[in-house]
Amino acid sequence: MAILIDKYTRVLVQGITGRDGSFHTRQMLDYGTSVVAGVTPGKKGQSLEGVPVFNTVQEAVHETGANCSIIFVPPRFAADAVLEAADARVPLIICITEGVPVQDMIPVYDYVRKQGCRLIGPNCPGLISPGAAKVGIMPGHIHTPGRIGVISRSGTLTYELVYQLTRAGLGQSSCVGIGGDPIIGTKFIDLLELFEADSDTDAVVLLGEIGGNDEETAAEYIAKNMKKPVVSFISGRTAPPGKRMGHAGAIISGSSGTAEAKIEALNAAGVPVGETPPQVVELLMERLKA
């Protein structure tokens, strides 16, 4: 079992004929993901590797039964692309696009939830259920099927941690990159709940970073609701206050959002925090043996 996506997920790609959309569509197909449709306005009738292209998401869903959309469009069009997918009631929407204006995302966040859909991202690497499907840009070959859930605000940090897990013989049930922007569709606690309910996940790794208070909120949730072991890593320990480090949401404001505050909150919730990805794996193995 996996969370959110599996071998039965039917994926449509918004922006399939663009450079990034076409490249990653091929990568997803090579991994075995069921990509059933693409959408690029004005290019209906074309195809990519046998995947038919439609003018609208509504059309694509009606013709193919797609139940998951991944968005590869420029930042100024990304919010509208999410809204179009939500209008078509696509249950799961993944927005890879980086640089989406925060003011564009404010109404999108509420509208997606009103439509009963789930949004992952924006500015995220997507998600993967190893051996079943990947919907995103992560390198599939470093993942291996197993029983460890991974949730991360970072893309490349996720890959490093997954590589270390795989090397240690710890496969993954699902790995989800939630994105590093100030406003994202799905947060840590949303996925912690899903992993806690997943009978094929034994433990969870939570990869956070400076900025915001999502990790502190997750710590409160873990203390009250999680029976499965959780270990963590927080990036940005040496970041100076007031300076953005990588993601748009990774900025410390005064005493809020510091690595120290997040680590303290997680430790108080019984979540050990590693100083390096290899140490995170060691902590995880200790918790699994306990």
Long-range pairs for 134-137: beta carbons < 8 A, 24 or more residues apart: 134/5, 134/27, 134/28, 134/31, 134/33, 135/5, 135/9, 135/11, 135/28, 135/33, 135/68, 135/70, 135/94, 136/24, 136/28, 136/70, 136/94, 136/96, 136/177, 137/24, 137/27, 137/96
Nearest Cα residue to 87 out of 64, 59, 63 = 59
Tokens, residue 142? 């470093």
Task: Give CA–CA dist 121/64, Å, rounded.
Answer: 24
What φ, ψ does residue 97 adopt, rounded to 5°?
-55, 130
Active-site residue (options: 62, 141, 143, 247): 247
Tokens, residue 289? 């043996």
**62 catalytically annotated:** no
Angle, vertex CA 152, rays to CA 141 and CA 211, nearest 5: 145
Residues with a catalytic annotation lie at 247
